[in-house]
Structure 1
Amino acid sequence: MEGRKQSATGQESEDFMKYFTKLDLSTAMNLTPEAMDVLLLSCGISSTRESLSKDEVRAIQHYLQQQSDGLSAQAQERLERTVEQYTVLVDTCSLLHYQFSAWMEHMLPILRRTGKQIVIPGSILREMGQLADKKPELAQPVRTATGWLNRLHREGLLAVYGGNSETFGDHQLLTAATQFHTKNRLLVVTQDKDLATDLMGLNQLSSVQGKKVLVLRINKYGYLSRFHPDAKQSGSSCSFFPPAPLVEDDQQILPLTQLPTTGDEVIGTSGTLILGDVLGQGGEGTIYDLGDGTVAKLYHPEKRTAARRDKLQLMVTAPIREQGICWPQELLCNTQGEFVGYRMPRAAGTSLQRCLLNQNSVQRYFPSGQRAELARLAVTILEKLQLLHRSGVLLGDINLNNILMVSPSEVWLVDCDSYQVGGYPCPVGKSPFLPPELLGKHLSQQLRTPGNEAFAVATLLFMLMLPGKAPYAQQGGDSMENAIREGNFPYPCGDNHGSGVPEGPWRYQWSHLPLYIKQYFHGTFQKEGRFYAEEKRLPVSTWLSVFRRYLELLETGALQERDEQSGKIYPNRLKEGGKQPRQVSQRRICQMCGEEFDLSQQEENFYRSKGFFLPQTCPRCRQLKRMMDQNSAGSQPA
């Protein structure tokens, strides 16, 4: 029987591969449909195929492995050239990186051949010992790093800078870098973005006459990568707010002798502050200007509960100091020492609710009328959401009133005191941003999940692409909440024709979205869609990749070449099928595949307006490079 079971399972697996669809494969590899088409064409498979045979799947796997091997060889060559030219200084966080061993496997033959040494500050040895004692989860990475350092020391490939007794940390590493780079071309390997910024700042110091400092990080393949300004890499992989049990909602109102007002003093950990003019007032409290780019939110007496105070006390322990996030900085008390509120950055801008209220509002706040502005706004918001999610924070009450826009590249997230942190839930939320599983629930008694949040994020993005229109709003039929409960999404996608699309510009706007974005929205909002279930909804990181690609297509004019109306916020007709004639600026030779490719006038204008070099590779090779960097199967080289 056991053998028969295994045989049946094997047959099921073969049948599954036989009927593996293009969408299945693109989802498994986290590829957009457009990137999937590029991959199929590169493997000699028609991009119009919707199902793939076993042999075609194997051909794709073989192609990816070949590409991975080629990229590994290129990465090793780059590593060799870098090590030959630079003195290599390594930080603690890189020594403890999960791919440090893989990096050392790649480095060791280079060090042996060149006789060069890796340099570490002497304090690191003591620091790692203390980390292993304080954090048991780091004991194994410390043992691994120590083993490699001992091996390098025995072979004469390790140099130790400074004494073991010196104070360790970023200061010593910065000191070492300052001294080394006056005489040597210095490469510092660190995972800490803040430290990397400080180190790269040495290149700007006129008081230090030295060579340029190169700062790289160990990547997931065991090679070195640059820090990117928009990557939001954190100095720590640890969440500020790990998951915790639900905290009981303590609604005990705290005693209050006096509630300060304009001209009165409030006390924080930073000292005494004077309340300025009232900037606003709401159901929870009053906002006062503090005159230094920050404001004080003082709660109404009946809103000063023990639970609110305790939650804010937890929030101020997290050093979230991101421009555009009104994160609590310190608790505030009156002169009697009684909790009255908190201090936060002063926000600017106009709520998205007003910006997207109607077509006149959209034309006022997005005067160019170009859809690239909406895509840029989506990317800006997603970058801030990703930072908060990586810190263990769920917003919970995502809505158009809680996001203020200064410009598509500058937004402010407000009402952060309602966010879910640790075991403290977000007690508020409303349709259309609540997923079906939360409708009718007491939100103050339930912790949100990443899947709950993902629904709200998808709704927000939909309302940016179809300005102000909720995904379940439809012509006739049920109420919006019933449509959410039933997963009744009105917009068509592929073979799903939909019904009830609202009257107005929405059908045209939907028509001009790229197919892959329509598939992601449809899969999220339509019942039984690929991403409909709570645990299958798309994370912010996926949406960020999707909208960065969309922004690139709009800014380079690639979509407008197919249909000029695709670049407009308000197209006046449905999308046309055929490509529009391209205005070719010049013909170039791809440096990767050697094939000729055309550069359109729109593309050239875009690159020159941004101060970028013109592309040296064809669109297909550029797409493959991005795809392989992010999605290579089994691409962590040994």
Structure 2
Amino acid sequence: MSKQLKLNTGVQITIADTPFASGAEGDLFDVMAPIAFLHAVVKVYKAAKQTPERQQKITYLVNHPPAGLVQQGVHNSVCWMTHIVYEQDQFVGFVMPKVAGVSLELLCQSRLKHPVLNDPVWQRFALTAPEGLQLRLKLCFNIAVALQHIHAQGCYTLVDMKPDNIIVQANGLVSIIDIDSIAVIDTAKNNNYPAIVITPEYAPPEYYRSIDLTHINHSWDNFSVAIIFYRLLCGIHPFMGTCHPPYDNHSETAQFIQDGLLPHGNSAQYFSVIPPPHNRFNQLDKGLQKLFLHCFDQGHLYPIFRPNVENWCVVLQKIMLNMSSPSIQIAKSYVSFNGYTNTAWTAPVQPIAHANKNVLKIIYSLTMLFMCFILVLAIISAIITINKNSVTQIIVAKPQIPYVALTHITQPAPVVTKKAINENEIHNCLVSGNCTNP
């Protein structure tokens, strides 16, 4: 049976009777009515999470959304809450846009193993695919732009930024979700709301130093997003491997992060075994390598060295503009910031025939062989035609008179012609004996 809820605007909505997804803090429901909300979902918190503090934070987030969250009127780069939801005048949750796609976590593996990724449109993103690296670079760019929209507000830090909280479409567009766990530090209005959830594998080293988590700044996200980019481009977490003593007992990713053990840069000397996927780091653009080292190496103790999302955009855009793949295009999808005017990189999904690949290869080979045969015949025919024309010209052509300067031409000698002699004259001459030279 469907359930009736009310929004902070007074609008009545109807949600499905059962959630389509559930988590530790709440459940997600499809909106059944009215029509204007069919492309939205409702998050209903567990009873223990429906606190006044939670309501105050959601109210602040609804009233202070970042600019440029919706592109082309349909795509949401950040699934920001739009309305507060009540049941019998009791706060229960919020409304947010509904997005389609798969979790970015599925693309962060060295090999795409999940069944949903067997479709050819997703196999293009494999690191071994011809355009795999290019498509992943564009995902990084789109993630950086989406995060910039949040940071541009000044008072927001995601904190729990990880691939599970990013949805990606086959065309490369991304959406950041689970925004309600964001940290809010608005000192001007005295509104400070700490982050609710933190994932250690994506938290910076200061997380392990017992710092005041109520004053987290953007450098935290800068560390987390760099880990996501490294996983996307290399297929492995940057802080992973086997070390020499005294770090030989490290087995958890969090331990490597805490001690700043990266298999590149200054700490590479401590590694006894470096997993093969890390070798992809050396194949990346030098600009990207520097950003990673600034973040994980120099930025381990000094967060100020960590590149921000704008630094990533500058380098990524430069790399992508040097690429000439026709299947990867720029779509005007993002509101401008610092020169990145309405820019999002997409990989249009082309219709793909689900034919047997071996059959296609055989057909292609036979076609190419036939074309080569036709080309050889055309060349032989042309050679024969040229040879025939050459022989004909040698036989019929008149001798060419060489060019001579007019000053070298002399007057020709007079031509002497003999007078014709008939038979009567010869007879008279012989009879009379009076013959003269004609």
Aligned residue for 1:316, secondary structure, equals helix
Equivalent positions of 1:270-285 (< 5 A) are 270=9, 271-276=11-16, 277-285=18-26
Rounded to whole Å, the distance in 2 between the matches of 1:500 and 1:389 is 39
- Is 1:302 matched with 2:69? no
Rounded to whole Å, the distance in 1 between the matches of 2:328 and 2:138 is 16
If the length of structure 1 is used for normalisation, what is the TM-score? 0.43
Pick from 244, 260, 269 the counterpart of residue 8 of structure 2: 269
Aligned to 1:355: 107
Q: What is the count of residue pairs matched by the alignment? A: 294
Note closer, same or farther for the CA distance 1:552–1:396 as it changes in structure 2 (3 Å cut): same
Note closer, same or farther for the CA distance 1:470–1:303 as it changes in structure 2 (3 Å cut): same
Rounded to whole Å, the distance in 2 between the matches of 1:421 and 1:530 is 23
Equivalent positions of 1:448-597 (< 5 A) are 448-467=216-235, 469-476=236-243, 477=248, 478-479=250-251, 480-492=253-265, 499-500=271-272, 502-507=274-279, 509-526=280-297, 529=298, 533-553=302-322, 555-556=323-324
Letter in structure 1 aligned against 2:94: Y
Structure 1 residue runs of 4 or more that deviate by more than 4 Å after TM superposition: 495-498, 608-611
Letter in structure 2 aligned against 1:373: L
Aligned residue for 1:453, secondary structure, equals helix
Pick from 177, 186, 193 the counterpart of residue 424 of structure 1: 193
Letter in structure 2 aligned against 1:502: I
Aligned to 2:90: 338
- Is 1:406 matched with 2:158? no
The unaligned stretches of length 5 or more in structure 2 are 33-37, 71-75, 186-191, 331-338, 340-438
- Is 1:324 matched with 2:77? yes
Rounded to whole Å, the distance in 1 between the matches of 2:287 and 2:111 is 26
1:501 offset after TM fit, Å?
5.5
Rounded to whole Å, the distance in 1 between the matches of 2:169 and 2:328 is 23
Note closer, same or farther for the CA distance 1:408–1:499 as it changes in structure 2 (3 Å cut): farther
Query: Conserved in 1, the CA contact under 8 Å of 2:22 and 2:28?
Result: yes
Q: Deviations over 1:4-58 (max 9, x none)?
A: xxxxxxxxxxxxxxxxxxxxxxxxxxxxxxxxxxxxxxxxxxxxxxxxxxxxxxx
Equivalent positions of 1:145-294 (< 5 A) are 263-270=2-9, 271-276=11-16, 277-291=18-32, 292-294=38-40
Rounded to whole Å, the distance in 2 between the matches of 1:523 and 1:549 is 19
Aligned residue for 1:359, secondary structure, equals coil
Rounded to whole Å, the distance in 2 between the matches of 1:438 and 1:531 is 11
Note closer, same or farther for the CA distance 1:344–1:412 as it changes in structure 2 (3 Å cut): same
Comparing 453-462 with 293-302, which one deviates more in the overlay?
A: 453-462
1:549 offset after TM fit, Å?
1.7
Letter in structure 2 aligned against 1:343: V
Aligned to 1:446: 214
Q: What value does the CA root-mean-square deviation take over the aligned residues?
A: 2.7
1:470 offset after TM fit, Å?
1.2
Q: Work out which of the two has the higher radius of gyration on C-alpha atoms and give 1 or 2.
A: 2
Comparing 469-478 with 434-443, which one deviates more in the overlay?
A: 434-443
Aligned residue for 1:545, secondary structure, equals helix
1:506 offset after TM fit, Å?
2.8
Aligned to 2:203: 434
Aligned residue for 1:446, secondary structure, equals helix
Note closer, same or farther for the CA distance 1:535–1:426 as it changes in structure 2 (3 Å cut): same
1:357 offset after TM fit, Å?
3.5
Rounded to whole Å, the distance in 1 between the matches of 2:22 and 2:134 is 35
Letter in structure 1 aligned against 2:28: I
Rounded to whole Å, the distance in 2 between the matches of 1:295 and 1:514 is 40
Query: Conserved in 2, the CA contact under 8 Å of 1:332 and 1:342?
Result: yes
The unaligned stretches of length 5 or more in structure 1 are 1-261, 557-604, 612-625, 627-638
1:440 offset after TM fit, Å?
6.1
Q: Deviations over 1:415-436 (max 9, x none)?
A: 1100112311112212221111
Query: Conserved in 2, the CA contact under 8 Å of 1:520 and 1:531?
Result: no
Aligned-residue sequence identity (percent) comes to: 22
Comparing 363-372 with 416-425, which one deviates more in the overlay?
A: 363-372
